[in-house]
Structure 1
Amino acid sequence: MQLTPQDKVDDYTARGWWGDLTLDDWLQRNRREVPDRIALVDPANRTDLDGRPPRRLTWAQLGEEVDRVGAALLDCGLSKDDILTYQLPNIADTVILALAASRIGLIISPVAMPYRRHELTHVADTVRPRAIVTLATFAGFDHAAMALDVARDRDCRVLVTGGNAVEGTIDLDAHIAIADPARAAAYHDAQPMRPAEVFTIFWTSGTEARPKGVPRDQNQWIVNGQMVAEAADIGDAEVLLNPFPLINIGSFGLVTPWLMKQGTLVLHHPFDLQLFLRQIVEERVNYTIAAPAILTALLKAPGLLDSMDLSSLRAIGSGSAPLSPFMIEGFAERYGIEVCNIYGSNEGASLFSDARSMPDHSERARYFPRMGVEGVDWPDSVSNAMIQTRLVDLETETDITEAGKPGELRFQGAATFGGYWNNRETTANAFDAQGFYRTGDLFEIAGDGPVPRFYRFVGRCKEIIVRGGVNISPAEIDDLLAGHPAIREAAVVGLPDERMGERMCAAVVPVDGQQLDLATITDWLEQRGLARFKLPEQLVLLDALPRNAMNKVPRRELRELILDRPA
């Protein structure tokens, strides 16, 4: 399924930005060229996750398994351009499933394990998947039952992996056991996925009430792999540790350079600091990613890292919140590990401040390269060649070229998506008149010289709450709280938190005479199928919410009101 206009494909191909490769081409090359090299390593604690022993697969074994799973999906009735949603932990089977989908031309639209009926129903209604792949149960929750409930009355089947497939579901493992791998290869040869076709639909949140589907095609993922490999200086056959679920560009962004560089991908789930460090040491990891708060906490834990052999670890990617010079300097000076400052989104708006482009540690914490701007030269950068950025005054829509004046950062180019899935109105608002994607984030130009070379992050135009690196739409929670019988009106805001970046606070005006507490509200939201990570962690009772002239709740004013209240 191709969504990108052909004239754009032709233009970017002529420029050399896009080509004729797909992720499957890289996989097939790797199984031919380095068949005996270890390619994929399960979490060391996999037995605790789903009762199965952890696996280590060579590229030859991985290629065989991808073909076998691809054939099993065909046997289950899926075909090219069908959408496949999966809700799976970060295990080898998830990577294999994603690569099998690429092999036979499916579009994947994964969701997080904590998602419940509320979120999964929205995904199903938006992308209309032909199948949902999940475990029967995980961490005490019945995922198969939830998937069956969502799939009911929709043209969607539920495929269960990991055993215990219940009535009404399809036992995917049974189909994999008898599948003929040659069928997937033959199917691919007959109708291969083309580079310009959509491969993923990931989910993002903004100021709108519900998550939005972000389609990305194979070309965009190839470019992403090149950019990440450059920023992290990933070399051939290096070992990459992925501690996050394969559901967004941050985590899937490790899959592409892994394939590109014929390396080893080590998986981790759920995040456990001691196990994470143990994997770095035992697997001789060269590059990984981690939240800023985790990295800062590691440096502040007396002697914790000093007792470990971290000599293999060259670099760590981090983002989703501003980084501190203390943290970047600490890892470089104490352990010789460079931290790469990453700004990015599922839409493909990405900047990388790394050791090559920003050798000064203090500058790397505060600044990003001002990429794709005329007169600003980053001659050895893949990103600079394939993206364009501009800084725009939100009131006048004019370009900002002087330092120190905040404006909205906007992107276009080879890595940027073309529009939200099945959402024309939101797509129209997401791009400006010149075709640049509106990030909703405020930056300012920084640096010396007649043409300053850096951007500095200032804040967010949009109102998303970023809790532990995960975006949460406040409007989505507002809408649910509006249905509570004891609440007159409510709005949620993010409050600063040293460990998580932000925590959610619900500001509530109760119906006269009603008594409310935090537990009552969170229990009520859970009963409506809201994921636990979206639940408010603080409650403030007010007589009224602040309103502006348009009768909207100004969240910045509300946040200041809450922060100014006596402790």
Structure 2
Amino acid sequence: MTVQSSPRLSSRFHDLVPVALRRAWAAEGHCPDLDLYALFRARRIADPYAMAVIDTHGEVSYAELDHRARCLAVGLAEAGVCPGDVVGVQLPNGREAVATDLAVAALGAVVLPFPVGRGSREALSLLGRSGARAAIVATEHRGVEHARELAELSASSGELPALRAVIAAGPGSVPDGCLSLADLFRTDASAFTPARPDPDTATRILVSSGSETEPKMVAYSHNALAGGRGNSLASLLPDGMRPRCLFLVPLGSAFGSSGTAVTLARHGGSLVLLDHFTPDGALEAIRAHRPTHVLGVPTMVRMMLDRLPDGHAPQTRLTALVLGGSALDAATSDEARRTFDCAVVNLYGSADGVHCHGGLSTRNAADEAPDSGPGIAVGRPDPGVCEIRIAPLPGGTSGEAGEIIARGPMTPLCYVGAPELNMRYRTADGWVRTGDLGMLDADGTLRVVGRLKDIVIRGGANISPAEVEGELSSHPDVRDVLCVGVPDPLMGERLAACVVPRPGRKPELESLCAHLDARGLERRKHPERLLLVTDELPLTPAGKPDRAALRERVAAEFPTEHAQAG
């Protein structure tokens, strides 16, 4: 079976970066200029028995994974998937999710992964707006029957006219109207010849964490993932080591896109996968599988540290904890560095197309000069990943915080099914408008000050929650903190601090504000509500802090109160 590339692939996902720039980045060596499956296949041929995946079911070699991927590619083709088609994937972390990534790439199709835990209505929206031809979803995951729900919604709603197949994965009976993923894995692939798509065409759609009314979908090319995003990880691999990456975040999240495409295809490493995160499970995986890199979010690390009250981590071979999704405070960074005896890298990045970090230095960028400027210092931009500039805000001046914009080898093609987002978030020459506020220091270090849309407007004055969080994180009673705006009939909005206390502590609002006074934060930026969170800050299915859930909790706790003006 030979798969031919489809000319409609490039027309469906228009590249907003000039072609000449893409070709220049490839010529300069920033991109491998091969499609993802070809990159993976080269790794498999070079070392077929190397370990590719370790999951809850055991170990899978490169040769075994490749065989499964090729069988699935033929099965998907027989189910009607063609080059250029979109295939939705909602699976927990494991070998099936990785093989699916590779199978879709081998067909020259485009994978649209999103984490288990997202509801059926959101799945319907993503699949409908992308024009997905097939969807591979879990038969059941943590009590939710994803495959049955999607098949029933697809049949009854009429919202998925392009969808031809719902494929059920995992144990249990196959719901009516679904195909079996296990059956597709048993397809004969002896005559399969993979597609060879243009490496500058789409291979994966990343889904935002859902801060918009509907999550944004962003199309990435083979070169943008293996090249730009691959270069971001490459700078964290001393002496060209083959990484062994424990992913605590879902592979279906934007952060998780560095799994199959980067860890395996680009760097020939191994993936250590948990089907869901628990702090005890993560610590056990570190003990048992000795990863070189752990990828997660700061809240996950705080939860793991709390399980190690004596400050002794398991014996590891860790090179780095790589943390994204939100800013990491200096106290947690120092504690994690001492406990796990490795570098702690706070990655600034988003699905929209920006990555920056401080590398493997013993002290991270934020620690080098903690008082030298506002916001969080996240490192110097890498031209092999993306160039970063600061666009002045209306009425702003040079040297002030402005919007962070980015363009480079990792820049995505375009937004999917939303031309209005291309108009709003992309410039005519391909720069990504991140919606983040930042500054560049004299030495080129990027400082992230906050989010434009997270700004809380209290009585006409702008407050950046990120700035307040950064100061509150150094309070001795605070383990974790997020600040959110809540509606107020008098001031429009007020700032609420949602705090996870350190064990045995019970911070009060007065104490927090006194701390902010001592840190020099002007009083109009002080929080006026305090919500103590006794367990952990809630996370979205993508593993990021769930600000929307916290806003709802604060609104329920303080429905109509008027705080005194600060």
Q: Give the TM interval when normalised to the shorter protein.
A: 0.7 to 0.9
Residue in 2 that maps onto 1:537: 553
How far apart are 1:136 and its partner, in Å? 1.8
Contact 2:243–2:263 (Cα < 8 Å) also in 1: no
Per the alignment, residue 497 of structure 1 pairs with: 498
| Structure 1 residues 483-542: Cα deviation after superposition (integer angstroms, max 9, x where no partner) | xxxxx9xx9998433459xxxxxxxxxxxxxxxxxxxxxxxxxxxxxxx99653343499
Instruction: Find out whether 1:270 has 2:276 as its counterpart.
Output: yes
Question: In 2 relative to 1, CA 533–76 (structure 1 residues): closer, same or farther, beyond 3 Å?
Answer: farther
- CA shift, 1:301, in A, is 5.2
Matched, 1:10 2:8: no
Give the Å deviation of 1:83: 0.6
**Secondary structure at the residue paired with 2:235?**
helix
Distance in 1 separating the partners of 2:154 and 2:493: 31
Q: Is the 8 A contact 2:336 2:344 kept in 1?
A: yes
The letter of the residue matching 2:432 is Y
Residues 195 and 217 of structure 1 are in contact (CA less than 8 Å); yes or no, is this contact kept in structure 2? yes
- 2:409 aligned with 1:414: yes
Letter in 1 for 2:450: G
Preserved contact between residue 314 and residue 338 of structure 1 (Cα < 8 Å): yes
Distance 2:25 2:76 in 1: 33
**Shift of residue 140, structure 1, vs aligned partner:** 1.5
Contact 1:231 1:352 in 2 (8 A): no
Deviation at 1:244, TM superposition (A): 1.5
Q: Secondary structure at the match of 1:64?
A: helix
Q: Tell me which of 132, 150, 153 is aligned to 1:129.
A: 132
Measured in 1, the distance between the counterparts of 2:206 and 2:277 equals 21
Count of residue pairs brought into register by the alignment: 469
Q: Is 1:161 matched with 2:173?
A: no
- Distance in 1, Cα, partners of 2:76 & 2:499: 45
Matches within 5 A, 1:44-443: 54-152=57-155, 153=158, 154-156=161-163, 157-163=165-171, 164-177=173-186, 179-184=187-192, 186=193, 188=194, 191-204=195-208, 208-223=212-227, 224-231=229-236, 233=238, 235-255=240-260, 256-299=262-305, 303-306=309-312, 308-310=314-316, 312-356=317-361, 362-363=367-368, 366-371=376-381, 383-385=382-384, 387-396=386-395, 400=398, 402=399, 405-432=400-427, 435-443=430-438
TM-score between the two structures when normalised by the length of structure 2: 0.75
Q: Structure 1 residues 303 and 126 mapped into 2: Cα distance closer, same or farther (>3 Å)? A: same
Secondary structure (helix, strand or coil) at the match of 1:199 reads strand
Structure 1 position 436, deviation (Å): 2.3
Query: 1:287 Cα deviation (Å)?
Result: 0.7
**1:209–1:474 Cα contact (<8 Å) kept:** no
Within 5 Å, which residues of 2 pair with 1:477-496? Answer: 495-496=496-497
Distance in 2 (alpha carbons) for counterparts of 1:17 and 1:247: 25
- Matches of 1:237 and 1:112, distance apart in 2: 27
Deviation at 1:115, TM superposition (A): 1.4
Residue type of the alignment partner of 1:167: D
- What 5-or-longer segments of structure 1 have no aligned partner? 44-53, 372-382, 479-487, 501-531, 545-560
CA contact (8 A) 2:86 2:110 kept: yes
Distance of 1:94 and 1:298 partners within structure 2: 25
Task: Tell me the distance in 2 between the aligned counterparts of 1:316 and 1:111.
Answer: 23
Query: Is the 8 Å Cα contact of residues 120 and 149 (structure 2) preserved in structure 1?
Result: yes
Secondary structure in structure 2 of the residue aligned to 1:133: strand
Shift of 1:391: 1.2
Q: Percent identity?
A: 20
CA separation in 1, counterparts of 2:330 and 2:444? 19
Q: Which residue type is aligned with residue 413 of structure 1? A: G
Task: Note if contact 2:208-2:215 (Cα within 8 Å) is conserved in structure 1.
Answer: yes
Q: CA deviation at 1:452?
A: 3.0
C-alpha distance in 2 between matches for 1:334 and 1:144: 42
Structure 1 residues 335, 541: CA separation in 2 closer, same or farther (over 3 Å shift)?
closer
Q: C-alpha separation between the residues in 2 aligned to 1:360 and 1:435?
A: 28
User: RMSD of the alignment, in Å?
Assistant: 3.5
1:74 shift after superposition: 1.2
Give the distance between the partners of 2:348 and 2:263, measured in 1 at CA.
Answer: 17
SS of equivalent residue, structure 1 residue 225: helix
Match of 2:506 in 1: none
CA distance, structure 2, for counterparts of residue 37 and residue 389 of structure 1: 37
**TM-score between the two structures when normalised by the length of structure 1:** 0.74
SS at match of 1:211: coil
- Between stretches 267-276 and 225-234, larger displacement belongs to 225-234
Are 2:37 and 1:24 equivalent residues in the alignment?
Answer: yes
- The Cα shift of 1:268 comes to 1.0
**SS of aligned partner of 1:231:** coil
Query: Given that residues 82 and 130 in structure 1 are in contact (C-alpha distance below 8 angstroms), is that contact kept between their aligned partners in structure 2?
Result: yes
Give the counterpart letter for 1:389 in structure 2: I
- Classify 1:131/1:393 alpha carbon distance in 2 versus 1 (closer, same or farther; 3 Å): same
* Distance in 2 separating the partners of 1:66 and 1:251: 19
Question: Partners of 2:211 and 2:429 in 1: how far apart?
Answer: 22
Q: In structure 1, the residue corresponding to 2:136 is in which secondary structure? A: strand
1:137·1:144 contact (CA, 8 Å) conserved in 2? yes
Q: Distance in 2 between matches of 1:183 and 1:564?
A: 74
CA 1:292/1:232 → structure 2, altered by over 3 Å: closer, same or farther? farther
Deviations 1:373-425 (A, max 9, x none): xxxxxxxxxx2345221112211476x3x4xx221111111111232112122
Q: CA deviation at 1:296?
A: 3.5
Alpha-carbon distance, 1:333 to partner: 3.7
Q: Is 2:39–2:265's contact at 8 Å kept on the other side of the alignment?
A: yes
Per-residue deviation, 1:364? 8.0
Mapped contact 2:343–2:362 kept (Cα < 8 A) = no
- Give the Å deviation of 1:174: 1.7
Question: In the alignment, what sits opposite 2:526?
Answer: none
Change (3 A) 1:413 1:19: same
Alpha-carbon contact 1:207-1:462 (below 8 Å) kept: no
**Cα offsets for 1:175-227 (capped at 9, x unmatched):** 322x112343x2x1xx4222011011121157642211100010100121122
The alpha carbon displacement at 1:144 in A equals: 1.7
The gaps in structure 2 that reach 5 residues or longer are: 1-8, 371-375, 456-464, 470-478, 502-545
Q: Residues 534 and 171 of structure 1: is their aligned pair in 2 closer, same or farther, counting only changes over 3 Å?
A: farther
CA distance in 2, matches of 1:346, 1:105: 22
Amino acid at match of 2:162: D
The 1:263/1:87 distance shift into structure 2, 3 A limit, reads same
Partners of 1:159 and 1:241 lie apart in 2 by 27
